[in-house]
Each structure stands twice: as C-alpha cells, then as structure tokens.
Amino acid sequence: TIDEQRFRQRFDEFNEIGATDAGGVDRPTLSDENKAARDTLVEWFREAELDVRIDEMGNIFGRREGRDPDASTVLFGSHVDSQYNGGRYDGVVGVLGALEAIEALTDAGIETDRPLEIVAWSNEEGVRFQPDMLGSGVYTGVFDLEYAYRREDKDGKRFGDELERIGYKGEDPCEPGDLHCYFELHVEQGPFLEQADLSVGVVEGVFGFSWMNVAFEGQANHAGPTPMTMRRDAFVATADVTKAVREITATEGTDLVGTVGSVDVWPNSINVIPERVEFTIDCRSYDNAVVDAAVERVQDEIAWAAEREGLEYEFEEIMRVDADPFDDECIETVAEAADEAGCEYTRLVSGAGHDANYLNKIAPTSMIFVPSVDGISHRESEYTEWEDVVTGAEVLLRAVRKQATA
C-alpha cells in the first residue's frame, strides 16, 4: 500500500512551486515554474532509482525494469503543467500517485514481470500553446514534431524554442516503445462522483471535442455619430454566436457542452465600435455525430452573423478529437483493482480531455477518477479530499501491478 505520509509531503512540496496566494498553482507549460516542477520530478525519479529519460517533446519518463527483459511496458502517469492560476490536483495527482505506486512496490520488494514506466506529458492543458495534449499527441503520431515545435503562445513564442529555453528538449525520439497498456489517475473535474458519494470512477472513455478559433473583422468607428444602420460591429456578431452556442447545447437528449472561453476585442475602447474580435469555441460530447452536428451548426451561425453584420470572418477548427471507448480489459482491470482496494466505484465517461485518449489509439488504456469537490477544476479552488487522492493511488497501484504481472 501507498505510503500516505510521503505522498502527502511530496504533494505539498511540489505545490509550493508556482503557488498562488489564493491556494492554487501557476505553472503553465514551459514557464519557469513548469521547469522547476519538472526539475523536482526528475530529482524524485532519480531518488526512486528510476531510469530517467526526456524525449524531444519534453515528455519525462521514469522507468523500473521488470523481470522479463522482452516484455512490453506498462505506462502510467499524467501531466505537471497547469492552467494559468489553476488548481493543485489537476495532473499532479496522477504523476505523484504513479511515483508512489512504484515506490510502494519497491518498498514491499515486489518485482513485476513487465517494466513499469511513469510519464509526465508536456502541455496537456493547452492554454498557453494550442492544441492541448500536445506531448501525448506527438508520441502517438497524431501530430508531427515540427508542427508541435511551431505552436506559438499569445506573445509569439514557439513551443520548440521555449522547450529548449527551459532545458527540456530531450534527445530521445518522441514515439512509443513497446507498450503493453496505459493507465492514468486524474481528478474528475466534474460533479458526478461527488453527487454519487463515491471515491473512485472507472473511466470508460473521453468525450470527443472540437476547438474552434473564430475572428470577425468589421469596421471601427465612433460610437456616437455612427448611425446604427452603418455599423459593422464585430462584437455584436460575437454575441450572436455565443448565444447560438448556448442554444445548441440545450438540444434535448444530448450531452453536448459548448463554451466561448477566450475573447479579445480591438481596439477595446469605450467609444469605438469593435473592429475585430477573436474568440474560441469549445464543443464536446461523447457522441461524435453530436460534435459534428454542433460544429456545422456553429459554422452556419458564424456565417449568418457575419453576413447580417457585414463582416469578414475567419474560422479554423484547430483541434478535433473523437470519442473512442477505452479498452474493455483495462476498464475491467481498474474495476477489479477498485474492488481489491475495497472501495465502491461507478463507471463514467470524462468530459475533460486527457492524454489517455490519445494513448488509447496505440495501446489498451483506461483511467481512474477521484472526485472533485463541487465539480470545480481549472481554478485555484480546485479541491479533492486527501483520502480520495490516496484511494485513487491505491487503485492505480493495483491496476498497474495486475497488468505488469504475467
């Protein structure tokens, strides 16, 4: 079993890095704080006598060999980048939980047939660089390396350059070795486990989703003397589309969610009609056809609003991930591990994207969720009861051990 005290101590120490006044952490991808978090992780991997390697995407691996030198690897982990002013649990629970799982096996003198490998993926969050899950995306062949290196943040800094700057552009090729399966422990980030009063969720799959960038271009002019009939207001059209996104999600009987999350207005002056607005739309469902239909409808609404208002527009779907159920055997392994750990669980699907979704394309995969208090994540008040975090790590430990033993 997990050494609760060591786990807690590491968790707290880790979250001092980039800690915010309001109790969260600010360690966006490839920031100095993200580097510091990586350094700490590598140090702890070494202390645990894991073989450390960094790949070209800055994904960090820590490996413990198995008895069978020819056996394929059981990979498990999560990510240590955070949202801007994000929470302490998102990603961290899965990486430090993985470290504790290996240490618990080592402490108990338990060897496995298969090698065990922990991974901390680069840029899972996708807030500084889009798209998200970039490290696992390249690893699984969804994106190529050069595409990833070219991604730019809002200041025009490139992923590749920033990776080099913080010293995490590794030499190892970013590609899977011989994988047996992948597990990921993560906070749910939704309300269901808490509502069901359960400590663990066995995750059967991840919502498909679309990320869209939209730009409306109208004409700046004076807010006073410009008659309403002469206006080409990029922000009014943005409001139209935002309302449309909300309406689409209200369609009876679907699990569709839709969000306009980022909005930038030019020139952003109280008495000037907005000339340009750039905004994002995030649409998700576990039913890929529902996402397809939503993206089509959103495009119609954009075209319609642009036409009515007399605007030019740009539309780009910067990312589309399909929903794809996890592997039945891995799902059962997690369920059995939860039984063994003596906890009640439910099966559920994830509304949040996860590296596991990409891993599922190349190796049998499943995930373990622990509850998020009030369903809150991506903000500083994100919280999970510590005993639930420990329970999640216990389940991970058992799932990994099961799959690593012939």
Ligand X SMILES: NC(=O)NCCC(=O)O
Judged by the rule CB under 8 A, the positions of this chain that interact with its own copies are 83-85, 125-127, 130, 132, 188-191, 207, 209, 211, 219-228, 230, 233, 235-236, 238-240, 242-243, 246, 249-250, 257-265, 267-275, 280, 282, 284, 350-353, 375-379
For 111, the token pair is 């060897």
Name residues contacting ligand X, limited to 198-227 (CB under 6 A): 222, 224
Selection from its own copies, ligand X, none that 103 binds (CB < 5 to 8 A by kind) is none
Selection from its own copies, ligand X, none that 379 binds (CB < 5 to 8 A by kind) is its own copies
Selection from its own copies, ligand X, none that 219 binds (CB < 5 to 8 A by kind) is its own copies
Cα–Cα distance measured from residue 124 to residue 303, given in angstroms and rounded to the nearest whole number: 32
Give least dist CB 352 to ligand X, A.
4
Give least dist CB 211 to its own copies, A.
6
**In 272-312, where does DSSP find H-type helix?**
288-309
Give least dist CB 189 to ligand X, A.
6
- Per DSSP, the three-state class of 124 is coil
Spacing of C-alpha 28 from chain mean position: 12
The DSSP output letter for 210 is E
Site string for ligand X, 121-140 (x = CB under 6 A): ---xxx-----x--------
Number of chain residues interacting with ligand X (CB under 6 A)? 12
CB 296 within 8 A of CB 265: no
Cα–Cα distance measured from residue 401 to residue 25, given in angstroms and rounded to the nearest whole number: 32
Give least dist CB 207 to ligand X, A.
8
With CB under 6 A as the contact rule, the residue among 353, 364, 371, 392 that binds ligand X is 353
Beta strand pairing call for 179-187 and 365-370: parallel
Give least dist CB 227 to its own copies, A.
7
Give least dist CB 116 to ligand X, A.
23
The residue (of 222 and 347) whose beta carbon lies closer to ligand X is 222
Cα–Cα distance measured from residue 325 to residue 71, given in angstroms and rounded to the nearest whole number: 26
Spacing of C-alpha 356 from chain mean position: 9
Cα–Cα distance measured from residue 277 to residue 268, given in angstroms and rounded to the nearest whole number: 9
DSSP 363-376: S-EEEEEE--GGG-
- What angle (nearest 5°) sits at the alpha carbon of residue 61, between those of residues 67 and 367? 85
Segment lying near ligand X (by CB under 6 A), choices 4-12, 18-26, 111-119, 351-359: 351-359
The residue (of 30 and 352) whose beta carbon lies closer to ligand X is 352
Please say whether the dihedral angle defined by the alpha carbons of residues 307, 310, 314 and 317, taken in this order, is positive or negative: negative
Name residues contacting ligand X, limited to 248-287 (CB under 6 A): 271
Site string for ligand X, 222-251 (x = CB under 6 A): x-x---------------------------
The residue (of 56 and 194) whose beta carbon lies closer to its own copies is 194
The residue (of 93 and 337) whose beta carbon lies closer to ligand X is 93
Helix (H) or strand (E) holding 114: none
Beta strand pairing call for 60-64 and 73-79: unpaired
Cα–Cα distance measured from residue 354 to residue 206, given in angstroms and rounded to the nearest whole number: 7
| Residues binding ligand X (CB under 6 A) | 90, 124-126, 132, 189, 222, 224, 271, 352-354
